Structure 1
Amino acid sequence: MKKEKAESEESLYTGLVIDNIEYQTLITKKYSNRKAYTALNPRLLTAFIPGTMTDVFVVAGQEVKAGECLAILEAMKMLNEIKSPFDTKVKEVNVQKGDRVTKNHVLIELE
Structure 2
Amino acid sequence: MNSTYKVSVNKVFEFDVTEEDILKTDITSNLDTTHHVLLDNTSYHTEIVQSDFNAKQYTIKVNHNTYQVNIADELDARIKEMGFSIGSSKQVNAIKAPMPGLLLDIQVKTGQEVKEDDPLLILEAMKMENIILSPRDGIIKSISATTGDAVDKGQLLIEFE
**Which residue does 2:146 correspond to in 1?**
96
**Which residue does 1:59 correspond to in 2?**
109
Larger radius of gyration: 1
Counterpart mapping for 1:15-94 below 5 A: 40=83, 42-94=92-144
Opposite residue 44 of structure 1, the aligned amino acid is A
Q: Distance in 2 between matches of 1:100 and 1:47?
A: 10
- Structure 1 runs, 4 residues or longer, greater than 6 Å off: none
Q: TM-score, normalised by structure 2?
A: 0.44
Q: Distance in 2 between matches of 1:85 and 1:48?
A: 13
Q: Distance in 2 between matches of 1:98 and 1:79?
A: 13
What's the RMSD between the two structures over aligned residues?
1.9
| Count of paired positions | 75
- Residue 39 of structure 1 and its aligned partner are, at CA, apart by 9.4
- Residue 59 of structure 1 and its aligned partner are, at CA, apart by 1.0
**Which residue does 1:5 correspond to in 2?**
none
Identity %: 43
Counting strand residues as a fraction of each chain, which structure ranks higher? 2
Q: Deviations over 1:30-80 (max 9, x none)?
A: xxxxxxxx9947111010110000000111100001100010000000101
Q: Unpaired runs of 5+ in structure 1?
A: 1-18, 20-37
